Amino acid sequence: MRIRVLTLFPELIMETVQTSILGRALEAGLLDVRAVNIRDYAFNKHHKVDDYPYGGGAGMLMQAEPVYLAYEAASKDLNKNTRVIYTTPQGKTFDQKMAAEFAREEDLVILCGHYEGIDERLLEEIVTDHVSIGDYVLTGGELPALIMIDAIARLIPGVLHNAESADTETFENNLLEYPQYSRPEVWHDKKVPDVLLSGHHENVEKWRHEQSVRRTLAARPDLFERYLSEK
């Protein structure tokens, strides 16, 4: 999959995706991420890309033209009709289902929002999906872009090795994961639950399911409702 990120902080994007599992996927050619610096497409000598909003009000807006030029340069080698995701707290909330949908695309463009936003005409012209990562406000769209890239990339076949892919259950069956334990059997006076040492596979499964239900009910009553209605 080819991903192009339109951003004011390309180093932040590239350094992060070159780390750990995503870095390995880049090396393996399963993923091709390029960050394009919007500032490189400013048309003034100070590389300024923001301006005051018409009608007044607090804050600055990203201007349409430098973003458009960055988009044109970034998407030159991509398929036509590639989806363009705009990171904004005004968007639809990102979830596992959306990650799976984006993971089926060949190419993606992600536009990182900044300041108080971007000129609406640019958004109308190039953006296909307005996406938020949750109900809180961040200083910019780079961290949301990285979160989405991570969630999408791990769904691309070959990106995760077998031992890493165990946790796909969460959010697929609408239950949170059960607690897990490794050696030693006793740590800080806490013992691993007996059932996990019993070798009784059926009892282990029953215990894990109970734990999942208990945890989901306590932390995510909304998810538990979905579990009940979809099971």
Closest distance to ligand 6GU from the beta carbon of 149 (Å):
13
- The answer to whether 20 and 49 have CB atoms below 8 angstroms apart is no
Q: What is the rounded distance in angstroms from the CA atom of residue 50 to the CA atom of residue 202? A: 61
Q: What is the rounded distance in angstroms from the CA atom of residue 37 to the CA atom of residue 5? A: 8
Closest distance to ligand 6GU from the beta carbon of 5 (Å):
13
Residue of 72, 74, 88, 66 whose CA lies nearest to 35: 74
Which stretch in 14-22, 135-143, 163-171, 209-217 sits in contact with ligand 6GU by CB under 6 A? 135-143
Q: Does residue 7 belong to the site contacting ligand 6GU (CB under 6 A)?
A: no
Pick 86 or 207: Cβ nearer ligand 6GU: 86
CA distance from start to end of the chain = 33
Which parts of 104-133 interact with ligand 6GU (CB under 6 A)? 113, 132-133
Which stretch in 51-59, 65-73, 85-93, 169-177 sits in contact with ligand 6GU by CB under 6 A? 85-93
Alpha carbon distances (Å) from 35 to 38, 127, 170? 9, 17, 31
How many residues line the site for ligand 6GU (CB under 6 A)?
13
Q: Does residue 136 belong to the site contacting ligand 6GU (CB under 6 A)?
A: yes
- List CB contacts of 71: < 8 A, sequence separation 6 or more: 6, 84, 109, 111, 126
Q: Does residue 152 belong to the site contacting ligand 6GU (CB under 6 A)?
A: no
Pick 16 or 88: Cβ nearer ligand 6GU: 88
What values do phi and psi take at 21, rounded to 5? -65, -40
In the list 141, 160, 175, 224, the residue contacting ligand 6GU (rule: CB under 6 A) is: 141
- The answer to whether 37 and 67 have CB atoms below 8 angstroms apart is no
Q: What is the rounded distance in angstroms from the CA atom of residue 83 to the CA atom of residue 79? A: 10
Residue of 128, 46, 140, 130 whose CA lies nearest to 82: 128
Which parts of 15-44 interact with ligand 6GU (CB under 6 A)? none
In the list 45, 106, 137, 221, the residue contacting ligand 6GU (rule: CB under 6 A) is: 137
Q: Does residue 9 belong to the site contacting ligand 6GU (CB under 6 A)?
A: no
Pick 66 or 113: Cβ nearer ligand 6GU: 113
In the list 144, 153, 155, 212, the residue contacting ligand 6GU (rule: CB under 6 A) is: 144
Q: Does residue 134 belong to the site contacting ligand 6GU (CB under 6 A)?
A: yes
Q: How many CB atoms lie within 10 A of CB 124?
A: 9
Residues at the site binding ligand 6GU, with contacts judged by CB under 6 A: 87-89, 113, 132-134, 136-138, 140-141, 144
